């Protein structure tokens, strides 16, 4: 391994160590109550050294969310590959999203915060470019499933794939977030669990997008 490759490897290792530290700080304190100074201290670096890798607290948060997205997309890819038909793939896609929220709550919450509190980073920022690339891949997977469902006569032809994908994503994200906060109240006051609520959501969703039988 040459000197340049070794330097790049060391830089990447240090970068990941900073993101590890940032996760710890953001997950524990939230974005508003966190700072670059706290992340630098957790990473055992000077603030000046940290700025060589990330220019702001917003960039650090984007890096954390980028890692979270990678985890989510990996889970989705594995779930889809195990499914055998379009209907099962759509349900597997949704189930993977639900499972991600259940098993990686901090990462899900970080993504939800980012999606509801957009940061003003330079559009040409490396993190922003990578984020757009990944989001497009994710959207493409979804729209391909919607289009395939149309071809197979499972999904209504009148549905616009992009709008349908966005609506499903927004609905499910909001449902999971609110249900996680109101989980105890749902059971005590209304008499049903979060899983039962999700099952009902799936029924409404699939009945809403499926093609009527001729």
Q: Which domains does the chain have, with CATH numbers?
A: 1-54 (1.10.10.60), 62-209 (1.10.357.10)
Predicted local distance difference test score (pLDDT) of residue 186? 67
Q: Is the pLDDT of residue 97 over 80?
A: yes
Mean pLDDT of 121-145: 86
Q: Is pLDDT larger for residue 204 or for residue 131?
A: 204
Predicted local distance difference test score (pLDDT) of residue 122? 81
What's the pTM?
Answer: 0.88
Q: Is the pLDDT of residue 16 over 60?
A: yes
Q: Is the pLDDT of residue 2 over 80?
A: no
Q: Is the pLDDT of residue 81 over 60?
A: yes
What is the chain written as a DSSP string?
--HHHHHHHHHHHHHHHHHHHHHHHHHHHTTTT--HHHHHHHTT--HHHHTTT-SSHHHHHHHHHHHHHHHHHHHHHHHHHH--SHHHHHHHHHHHHHHHHHH-HHHHHHHHHHHHS-----TT-HHHHHHHHHHHHHHHHHHHHHHHHHHTTSB-TTS-HHHHHHHHHHHHHHHHHHHHHSHHHIIIII---HHHHHHHHHHHHHHHHBPPP-
Predicted local distance difference test score (pLDDT) of residue 213? 60
Mean pLDDT of 188-196: 76
Q: Give pLDDT tens digits for 179-189.
A: 887 776 766 77
Mean pLDDT of 39-54: 95
Q: Is the pLDDT of residue 170 over 80?
A: yes
């Amino acid at each position: 391994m040459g000197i340049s490759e070794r330097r790049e490897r060391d830089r990447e290792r240090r970068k990941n160590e900073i993101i590890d530290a940032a996760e710890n700080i953001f997950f524990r304190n939230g974005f508003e109550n966190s700072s670059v100074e706290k992340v630098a201290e957790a990473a055992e670096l000077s603030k000046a050294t940290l700025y060589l890798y990330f220019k702001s607290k917003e960039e650090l948060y984007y890096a954390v969310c980028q890692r979270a997205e990678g985890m989510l997309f990996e889970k989705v890819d594995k779930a889809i590959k195990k499914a055998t038909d379009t209907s099962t793939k759509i349900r597997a896609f949704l189930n993977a999203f639900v499972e991600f929220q259940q098993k990686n709550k901090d990462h899900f919450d970080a993504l939800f915060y980012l999606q509801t509190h957009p940061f003003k980073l330079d559009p040409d920022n490396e993190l922003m470019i990578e984020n757009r690339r990944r989001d497009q891949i994710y959207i493409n997977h979804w729209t391909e499933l919607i289009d395939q469902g149309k071809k197979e006569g499972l999904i209504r032809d009148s549905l616009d794939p992009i709008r349908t994908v966005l609506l499903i994503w927004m609905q499910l994200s909001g449902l999971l977030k609110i249900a996680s906060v109101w989980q105890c109240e749902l059971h005590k006051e209304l008499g049903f669990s979060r899983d039962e609520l999700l099952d009902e959501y799936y029924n409404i969703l699939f009945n809403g997008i499926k093609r009527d039988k001729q």
